[in-house]
Each structure stands twice: as C-alpha cells, then as structure tokens.
Amino acid sequence: MNINTTACLFACSLALGLQTAHAQSTLPDAVKVPDGHSVMLETVGVGEITYQCRDKANTPGQTEWTFVGPKAVLNDRAGKPVGDYFGPPATWQAKDGSKVTGTQLAVAKAAEGDLPYQLVKANPAEGKGAMQGVSYIQRLATRGGVAPTSACTAQNKGTQEVVNYQADYVFWTAR
C-alpha cells in the first residue's frame, strides 16, 4: 500500500467516524432522539466525576459510593474547548455563557466499566448563544466514569474519590 492510499484510508475512516458518531440506527432505542430533530453540536467531554462514600438510602448500616457531580471540558471534534459540563444540576455551558440543564429521560448500558448512554430532555437555554434551541442531549461513546471499585465502609464514610471519564455529548435541536 502506498502513502497516498494509506492517507486516504485514514482520512476516509475519520470522516466516516464523524458522520456516524450520532447515527441513531446503532443506538439502543431508549436513548434515540425522537424524529424531527437534527444535530446542532457534537462535543467530547473530558473530565472527572466525584463520588462520596455515604450511607446507603433506606438500608441502615450499609454504605455505597454515591454520585456527587461531574466536571468536564467540552471540546469540539478538533479538540478546541467550546464549553464546560458541571453539576448538579447537570449543566452544559458554552464559552459564550449560554447554558442548558435538562431532565434525564433514559439510560442504556454501555461497555463494562463505562457510564451508561443517556438521553436528556433539555430545558430552555439561559442566555443568548450556542445553547439556544437545544432540545435534547445525548451522552454516547462513554469511557470510564463509574463508581470506584475500592471499598466504601463505615470506616471511610464521608471520603471522596474522583474518577476520570470521557463521553461524547451530542446536542440536538428541533427541525
């Protein structure tokens, strides 16, 4: 194979990857965006999720790692920072200051050790800018982010652990 063929294969695979990053046909039904919407922005969130060892709800004497909140940078497909993701509540904020929160509608299992895929119905955006018109947000292509595997016991109750993660966040708008 010559260098031109190799370069074309690489470029073509990148282009196909970007075009299919939000292909609905390959996703579990629970996290598909309803018809009548189109992609307005694709980002890659790179960051961390904090968990805290706490008493298990309604189970006296037992403890578990509990989600505290995320903190991530949202990058465009070229790797340029375009916003941030933080919470609670889950908030996606563009560099222009506009931001959106939402309500989780569904999750679907991802690979072992990865956060589940997620579909969020967006609330109306705050501020004018990039987040105006967002109707749905999908979390896809997740890597990492699940609760720690270390022990959560009465002895370390109250301690926090930070777990790294990455996920694609796809923002949709009504057509």
Write down how long the chain is: 175
pLDDT reported for residue 60:
84
pTM of the model: 0.85
- The H-assigned helical ranges of the chain are 3-20
| Contacts of 126 by beta carbon, 8 Å cutoff, 6+ apart | 98, 99, 100
| pLDDT the model gives residue 21 | 47
pLDDT grade, residue 22 (50/70/90)? low
pLDDT at 23: 78
Q: Tokens 């996290």, residue?
A: 31
Q: SS3 of 15, please? A: helix
Structure tokens, 163: 């777990």
Q: Is the pLDDT of residue 92 over 60?
A: yes
Peptide bond into 34 cis (omega under 30): no
Separation CA 140–CA 43 (nearest Å): 10
Nearest-angstrom CA–CA distance, 30 and 115: 15
Q: Are 47 and 73 in contact (CB under 8 A)?
A: yes
Q: Tell me the per-residue pLDDT of 49-90, one tens digit each, with 9 for 90 and over.
A: 999 999 999 998 899 999 999 999 999 989 999 999 999 999
Q: Output the six-digit token pair for 131.
A: 């987040």
